[in-house]
Every structure is written in C-alpha cells, then in structure tokens.
Amino acid sequence: MARRASSSTNPIWFIVVAVIAAGAIAGGFMLKGGVTDPYRTLTVFPVGDYMQNSNSLRGNSYKMEAVVGDQLRFVQSARLFSVEVNGEPVSLLVPAELRDVNIQKGQRFLFKVEVGDKGMLKAIDAKKV
C-alpha cells in the first residue's frame, strides 16, 4: 500500500505571496515616479500668482512644466520663448548657458526657473519630458 503525503502547501500562502509581490511592484512604480523628477524639492510655479503680480515672486526659484510655443526673439546671449503653463501663456528667457538644449515648438519641458527683475522668467535648467 502506497503512503500518502502527510503535508501539502496551503493555497492561501500562494495568495499571500502574490498580494505582497503586487504591493511591492506598485510601490516601486510610485517611488520611481517621485525619484525621476529632478526638481522634486522645488515649489511648482504658481502661474496664477505670477499673472496677478509677478514682482511679488522676484528672486524665487520654481519648477515649471510647460509646452513650448513660438520663439519670440533670438540674440547671442539668450532666446525668448512663449510657453504655455496650465493654459496660460508666459514668456521665458533661455540664456546662452542652455544653448545645448534643443528647444522646439510643441515640445513639453520641465524647467527650473527663477523670477528675475521686473518679473521676467529665466530658465536655470531644462529637461525634456
């Protein structure tokens, strides 16, 4: 007479392991989204406040996700672009230090910006999204 196995793996353990693995994968994707933002420590650009009174934001740095519009002006030291932030058009000065960044109309960029004198936005850094 053949012997029967006295213990077997409980199917509940497979379910528990599958739930833990799914949770770990979901957590990893959430962490990846936060870690890939190079400007995660900066405040999001308050476009509404900027439109009301840009002088109140002078000297502050922000992160700004924008869609590039037209290039308004080009000189040796800088380029002036029209960008759209949350549906609002604003102008952005891109200095010569960022000349290696290929900025074209319709592209989405994540900019580190500084509000300068007279409320002019100046790009400090740019990453294509």
pLDDT tens, position by position, 60-89: 999 999 999 999 999 888 999 999 999 999
Spatial neighbors of 34 by CB under 8 A, at least 6 apart, are 40
Domain ranges in the chain? 47-128
- Of all helices (H) and strands (E), which one includes residue 10? none
**pLDDT of the residue at 67:** 95
Please check the confidence at residue 107 and state whether its pLDDT lies above 90: yes
Enter the tokens of residue 77. Answer: 């030291």
Q: Is the pTM of this model over 0.85?
A: no
**pLDDT of the residue at 34:** 57
pLDDT, mean of residues 10-18: 86
**pLDDT of the residue at 110:** 93
Q: Which CATH superfamily is domain 47-128 in?
A: Nucleic acid-binding proteins (2.40.50.140)
Give, in order, the Cα–Cα distances in Å from 127 to each of 52, 61, 86, 95: 27, 16, 18, 15
Lowest-confidence region among 5-14, 82-91, 98-107:
5-14
Give, in order, the Cα–Cα distances in Å from 43 to each of 23, 38, 111: 30, 12, 12
